[in-house]
Amino acid sequence: MFIRLGYDIRFQITAPVPFIALLNVHSSREADLREPDILRTEPDLSIDQYADSFGNKCSRFVAPPGELRLHNSFVIEDSGEPDAVNVDARQLPVEDLPHDTLRYLLASRYCETDLLSNTALQMFGLTPPGWRRVQAICDWVHRHITFGYNFASPTKSAMQVMADQQGVCRDFQHLAIAFCRCLNIPARYVTGYLGDIGVPVTLPMDFSAWFEAYLDGHWWTFDARNNTPRIGRVLMAVGRDAADVAITTNFGSALLTQFTIVSDEIPANVAVVG
């Protein structure tokens, strides 16, 4: 299947502002692109690109005063299969984990493992280790946390989500990630596209958050917010938590005036030229 992805994001700026944007698909999906994935700006700006310490593709530029528009529209090919499930995936002992997974066991800005360790052990310590333990965590978060855009807060951490029992998609993932890490399961935060393919359309399209757990030598997709395998996820960036994968970071004042995201399946009778 083919999916049309894109965005139209606009800011009003009063003085020159440096930006970092993580708006490209992850390198692991570049081979699936059928049209160029290019960040376009109005006005036309000089953009420097680099890979951060997590391997994410970052764009760096300085926006002048006035309106700044960031936009793109492109096509990606997808298997059309839902997220993979492997209930037999094992949890590896910490001493057997690859070096590069160890940072995903540590506390981070939004995932306070030191404050949640006793709670996680009490709640999930008797669950079967491996896939079933991660799924038990997702089941609990999905059942007990209430979703709502009005609950969004840029400072809300996993501990606060646990206390309030409400939040947006990133909050669901932060709490699940923290619980996993407390139980020695490497877990990392993911941002990307997730359209309403194969499910009823309920909310305006936005970038989405989910997480990945390292089991049996692989990173597996989990989603405490939706808690069901979905079709058409397109990964953009990974990190310890949302602080590492902000869609845009501006080093100065920039007023967001428009935020439109597209993730639509292309009908089978529509030709795609790659």
Mean pLDDT for all residues in the chain? 95
The lowest-confidence range among 74-78, 116-120, 200-204, 229-233 is: 200-204
Mean pLDDT for 215-240 is 97
- Interatomic CA distance for residues 215 and 209, integer angstroms: 20
pLDDT band at 135 (very low <50, low <70, confident <90, very high): very high
pLDDT at 205: 81
Determine the pLDDT at residue 17: 98
Identify the structural domains of the chain with CATH numbers, from first to last.
Answer: 2-78+247-265 (2.60.40.2250), 94-244 (3.10.620.30)
pLDDT at 226 over 80: yes
Among the listed residues 185, 209, 206, the one whose alpha carbon sits nearest the alpha carbon of residue 196:
206
Q: Which two tokens stand for residue 119?
A: 């709670």
Q: Which helix (H) or strand (E) holds 176?
A: helix 169-182
Per the model's pLDDT, the better-predicted residue between 204 and 143 turns out to be: 143
pLDDT at 193: 97
Q: Kindly tell me if the per-residue pLDDT of 271 is higher than 70.
A: no
What separation in angstroms does the CA of 33 have from each of 74, 83, 190, 234, 273? 8, 19, 19, 11, 11
Q: What is the mean pLDDT of residues 114-127?
A: 96
Tell me what pLDDT residue 269 has. Answer: 67
* pLDDT computed for residue 261 by the predictor: 96
CA distances 128 to 68, 91, 180, 183, 241, Å, are 51, 10, 13, 12, 26
Confidence of residue 199 (pLDDT cuts 50, 70, 90): confident
Pick the range with the lowest mean pLDDT from 46-50, 92-96, 118-122, 204-208: 204-208
For the cut 70, the answer to whether the pLDDT of residue 273 exceeds it is no
Q: What per-residue confidence (pLDDT) applies to 49?
A: 97
| Per-residue pLDDT, 200 | 80
Confidence category of residue 172, pLDDT binned at 50, 70, 90: very high
SS3 260: strand
Q: Calculate what percentage of the chain has a pLDDT beyond 90.
A: 92
Mean pLDDT for 116-125 is: 97
What does the radius of gyration of the chain's CA atoms come to, in whole angstroms? Answer: 19
Choose the weakest-confidence range: 32-41, 54-63, 94-103, 192-201: 192-201
pLDDT at 204: 72
Mean pLDDT, range 32-49, rounded to an integer: 97
Task: Give the per-residue pLDDT at 272.
Answer: 65
